[in-house]
């Protein structure tokens, strides 16, 4: 009987709190449908790893080390960066760069909307984090979970848990956070600016050459970013080349689904109460929000700057779509535009900025790695 009750009697209040956090993550994923493919397995994983003596973690049993399945998966899939890179293949296969290729100047918004990353790196250093930790915290602003895992896994593996939770939580909260940030720096008149869209055909050759060109350019700018950029662009090449449709569909569906399950469960290794519940975690989550908000504001302010020199004005909300939360951010921008003016259609411009943000975020991650690894 004593053995049966040992787990209950040895549990700490910190572990109970982490189980409740796991339950909250599952609630947000199931009830609110916020990033359910990651939050649901991550939430259950948080419960699994915080049960005293949990067999999913490595422990000493009878004087011998018994390896836990989640520790094995962590070593194989996250310590090696394999899982986030495989997800990038699927993301690349899902993305249509057509709207960006029709309006190449949208690349500028993807670059501008990474401002919050570097702003937060400076702020985090001022608050006592070392430069590698600060860079890992700043990348939360990219609104790109796999990139956050990849960068923090190399620069600050001890912070992987709170950084991952913050990154995916803020990705899920784009419809709540971005409207508030955008309205804080725009007027109603600016949000009502209409943009005339002219659909132009993009040749198949251009769509095939684009991922190859981006890979080469990114390789020369930040060679260390090639795992991120290369896998993303490989997935897109599968989509666009026209002869690998079966592989493209597998990347978009089976590959992403399987790896998302493994990633969500495995990342919970870093959600153990002793590692997660501390003041540092609260600071990381707070600074992650700063990075995310400043990324959105940076894109908006850049669009307003361009409007000072343009006759045909840009709806500054487009700039906020330059973050990597694809396609959620572009949908939020279109909804805000129609709320202000039911006849305003800016979706294709927002999509162009949004896919450029996907490229810019992985390049930004590569730059951080090249600077600080």
Residue 235 inside a domain? The answer is no
Residue 263 inside a domain? The answer is yes
DSSP 202: -
CB 238, CB 93: distance < 8 Å: yes
pLDDT at residue 121 above 90? yes
Percent of the chain with pLDDT over 70: 97
CA distance 145 to 167: 6
Residue 16 inside a domain? The answer is yes
| Number of structural domains in the chain | 1
User: Closest by alpha carbon to 294, among 129, 47, 119?
Assistant: 119
Residue 158 inside a domain? The answer is yes
CB 320, CB 300: distance < 8 Å: yes
Residue 210 inside a domain? The answer is no
Residue labelled with tokens 């049966």: 4
- pLDDT category at 363 given cuts 50, 70, 90 is confident
pLDDT at residue 186 above 80? yes
User: Closest by alpha carbon to 230, among 239, 218, 241?
Assistant: 218
b/e 20-42 (16+ beta carbons within 10 angstroms → b) = ebbeebbebbeeeebbbbbbbbb
Residue 219 inside a domain? The answer is no
pLDDT value for 212: 94
Residue 203 inside a domain? The answer is no
- Quote the tokens at residue 243: 């002869």
Q: What crossing angle do the helices spanning 160-172 and 279-307 adopt, rounded to 10°?
A: 40
- pLDDT category at 37 given cuts 50, 70, 90 is confident
User: Closest by alpha carbon to 92, among 216, 250, 224?
Assistant: 250
CB 259, CB 98: distance < 8 Å: no
**Whole domain around residue 295: which residue ranges?**
2-50+96-198+253-372
pLDDT value for 255: 94
- Quote the tokens at residue 14: 């910190």
Q: How many CB atoms lie within 10 A of CB 118?
A: 19
pLDDT at residue 302 above 90? yes
pLDDT value for 1: 53
In 3-state terms, what secondary structure has residue 121?
Answer: helix
pLDDT value for 348: 87
Residue 311 inside a domain? The answer is yes
Q: Is the peptide bond before 327 cis (omega within 30 degrees of 0)?
A: yes
Least confident of 33-37, 87-91, 151-155, 331-335: 33-37
In 3-state terms, what secondary structure has residue 261?
Answer: helix
In 3-state terms, what secondary structure has residue 95?
Answer: coil
Residue 103: alpha-carbon gap to chain centroid: 24
CA distance 348 to 30: 30
């Amino acid at each position: 009987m004593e053995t049966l009750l040992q787990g209950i009697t040895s549990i700490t209040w910190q572990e109970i709190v982490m189980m409740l956090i796991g339950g909250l993550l599952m609630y947000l994923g199931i009830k609110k449908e916020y990033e359910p493919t990651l939050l649901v397995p991550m939430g259950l994983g948080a419960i699994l790893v915080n049960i005293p003596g949990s067999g999913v973690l490595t422990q000493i049993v009878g004087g011998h080390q018994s390896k836990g399945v989640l520790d094995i998966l962590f070593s194989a899939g996250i310590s090696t960066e394999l899982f986030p890179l495989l997800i990038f293949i699927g993301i690349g296969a899902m993305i249509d760069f057509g709207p960006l290729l029709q309006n190449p100047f949208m690349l500028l918004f993807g670059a501008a909307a990474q401002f919050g990353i570097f702003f937060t790196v400076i702020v985090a250093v001022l608050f006592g984090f070392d430069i590698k930790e600060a860079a890992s915290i700043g990348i939360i602003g990219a609104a790109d979970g796999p990139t956050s895992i990849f960068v923090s896994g190399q620069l600050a593996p001890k912070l992987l848990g709170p950084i991952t939770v913050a990154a995916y939580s803020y990705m899920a909260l784009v419809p709540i956070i971005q409207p508030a940030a955008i309205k804080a720096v725009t007027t109603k008149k600016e949000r009502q600016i209409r943009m005339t869209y002219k659909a132009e055909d993009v040749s198949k050759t251009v769509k095939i050459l684009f991922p190859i060109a981006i890979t080469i350019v990114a390789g020369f700018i930040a060679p260390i970013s090639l795992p991120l950029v290369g896998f993303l662009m490989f997935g897109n090449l599968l989509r666009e080349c026209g002869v690998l449709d079966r592989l493209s569909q597998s990347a978009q569906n089976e590959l992403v689904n399987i790896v998302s399950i493994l990633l969500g469960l495995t990342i919970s290794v870093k959600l153990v109460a002793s590692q997660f519940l501390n003041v540092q975690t609260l600071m990381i989550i707070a600074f992650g929000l700063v990075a995310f908000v400043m990324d959105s504001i940076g894109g908006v302010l850049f669009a307003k700057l361009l409007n000072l020199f343009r006759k045909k004005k840009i709806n500054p909300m487009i700039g906020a779509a330059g973050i990597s939360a694809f396609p959620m951010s572009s949908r939020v921008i279109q909804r805000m535009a129609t709320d202000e003016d039911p006849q305003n259609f800016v979706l294709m411009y927002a999509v162009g900025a949004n896919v450029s943000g996907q490229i810019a975020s992985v390049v930004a991650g590569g730059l951080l790695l090249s600077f600080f690894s």
